């Protein structure tokens, strides 16, 4: 798959979704975040090897140009015990995804970042940016 650096893509025209769809989407996103927090606390050790993992859901919202959205954790190959929290969106018709790194650090750093009040809003904004970047392919 091709990975794009979302920071380099222009994202001036981000559409907002209707309130009804936003509620359903928020509930799905909240469930994914909750699953990911649980897996991070169980599967990432303080030191040592761990497998990369992800929690994803199929996108049913027509305002988001993505077939599926995934929140994943990958090992940081350069720093022992660190991980990357990555958000990805899969193109609706091609095997191409766009992804954005949300945070890098230890298990506790990632969980602390995910427990912030505005974390879900930040993830939603990144999903819109990834969606817009996939439209340009």
Residue 20 lies in a domain: yes
Domain total in the chain = 1
> 88 in a domain, yes or no?
yes
Has this prediction a pTM greater than 0.85? no
pLDDT of residue 114: 96
Cα 58 from chain centroid?
13
Let me know if residue 79 belongs to a domain. Answer: yes
- Answer yes or no: is 17 within a domain: yes
Q: What is the domain range of residue 39?
A: 6-135
Q: Which of 80, 65, 34, 63 is nearest to 133 (CA)?
A: 65
Q: Phi/psi class of residue 35: alpha, beta or left (left: φ > 0; alpha: ψ in -120 to 50)?
A: alpha
Report residue 56 CA to chain centroid gap.
9
Q: What is the pLDDT of residues 71-97, one digit of tens each?
A: 999 999 888 889 999 999 999 998 899
Classify residue 113: in a domain, yes or no. yes
Q: Beta 53-58 vs 97-105: how paired, if at all?
A: unpaired
pLDDT tens, per residue, the chain with 137 residues: 444 444 444 444 444 544 545 568 889 999 999 999 999 999 998 888 899 999 998 988 888 999 999 999 999 988 888 999 999 999 999 889 999 999 999 999 999 999 999 999 999 999 999 999 999 88
Which string of b and e fits 104-119 if b means at least 16 CB within 10 Å? bbbbeebbeebeeeee
In a domain, 1, yes or no: no
């Amino acid at each position: 798959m091709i990975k794009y650096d979302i920071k380099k893509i222009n994202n001036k025209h981000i559409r907002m979704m209707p309130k009804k769809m936003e509620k359903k989407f928020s509930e799905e996103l909240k469930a994914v975040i909750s699953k990911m927090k649980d897996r991070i606390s169980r599967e990432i050790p303080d030191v040592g090897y761990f497998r990369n993992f992800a929690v994803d859901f199929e996108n049913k919202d027509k305002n988001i140009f993505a077939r599926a959205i995934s929140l994943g954790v990958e090992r940081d190959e350069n720093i022992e015990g660190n991980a990357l929290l990555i958000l990805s969106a899969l193109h609706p018709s091609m095997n191409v995804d766009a992804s954005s790194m949300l945070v890098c650090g230890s298990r506790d750093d990632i969980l602390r970042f995910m427990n912030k009040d505005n974390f879900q809003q930040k993830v939603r904004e990144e999903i819109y940016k990834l969606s817009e970047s996939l439209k340009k392919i």
